[in-house]
Amino acid sequence: MSALWTPDALLAATGGLLRAPFSAGGVSIDTRTLKKGDLFVALVGENGDGHAFVADALAKGAAGALVHRLPDGVADDAPLLQVADTLAGLRGLAAFARARFRGRLVAVTGSVGKTTTKEMLRAILAAQGKTWAAEASHNNHWGVPLTLARLPADAAFCVAEIGMNHAGEILPLARLARPHVAVITTVEPAHIGHLGSLEAIADEKAAIAGGLEPGGVAVLPADTPLLPRLLAQAPNARLCGSAAAADARLL
């Protein structure tokens, strides 16, 4: 079985310094779920610094680690890929993996039902060919690039989930994913405390259409009163719901 990430691909994707060459069969950001042969990405967040877990990741069988500084307790000749910023490095992996992917990608957003819709699409598409989909609800600024970085080059389909908490978060993730189909499940008052109104939520959800590949299609909820607002950003759309105007109607 060929590696998901070869040394040459790692360097091309990140522009980093490879302290010792290695290949990786997967990508992980959590030592609790890390699999032997994974690349461990030492992300830094509000609740911790992944560099503190690099030694543990290597001890558990990680093929190597993506770091932006030399971690404590790790030898100088350890299999490390050093970059200026590990989140930017993860995004580099995501962009590279998306560029070499020749299948079709579906991205799902919406106030509710994202993960359920993603799993339904995974099941449907898996009957047609090799399908990769986001695990759990990996839909934020870490989860979307992680999903893409794990994407096998020979997959026929990929289903990504894109979420948000604040305005301006969906568009850059959609541009990274570059979907052929963008699905908006519904617009509800989730996150209204951050965005202030349903109209603002609709605008943020509709931003997913800004990442569509040329000729791509948005699938929109026909029953929402905010449909005109969604269509303003996604004119090439198909409607789904119980409304008479829906292209696919629920009976």
Quick: pLDDT tens for 173-224. 999 999 999 999 999 887 677 788 899 899 999 999 999 999 999 999 999 9
Q: What is the pLDDT of residue 192?
A: 76
Q: Does domain 7-93 have CATH number 3.40.1390.10?
A: yes
| pLDDT class of 96 with cuts at 50, 70, 90 | very high
Q: Where are the domains of the chain?
A: 7-93, 101-249
Name the percent of the chain lying above pLDDT 70. 99
The model's pLDDT over 15-50, given as tens digits with 9 standing for 90+, comes to 999 999 999 999 999 999 999 999 999 999 988 999
User: Closest by alpha carbon to 167, among 205, 113, 125?
Assistant: 205
The residue ranges of DSSP E strands in the chain, in sequence order, are: 17-18, 26-28, 38-41, 44-45, 48-49, 64-67, 80-82, 104-109, 131-133, 157-161, 181-184, 217-221, 237-241, 248-249
The model's pLDDT over 68-82, given as tens digits with 9 standing for 90+, comes to 999 999 998 999 999
Largest CA distance in the chain: 65
| pLDDT class of 1 with cuts at 50, 70, 90 | low
Q: What is the pLDDT of residue 24?
A: 99
Asked if 160 contacts 177 with a C-beta cutoff of 8 angstroms, the reply is yes
> Between residues 63 and 191, which one has the greater pLDDT?
63
Q: Does domain 101-249 have CATH number 3.40.1190.10?
A: yes
> Between residues 242 and 93, which one has the greater pLDDT?
93
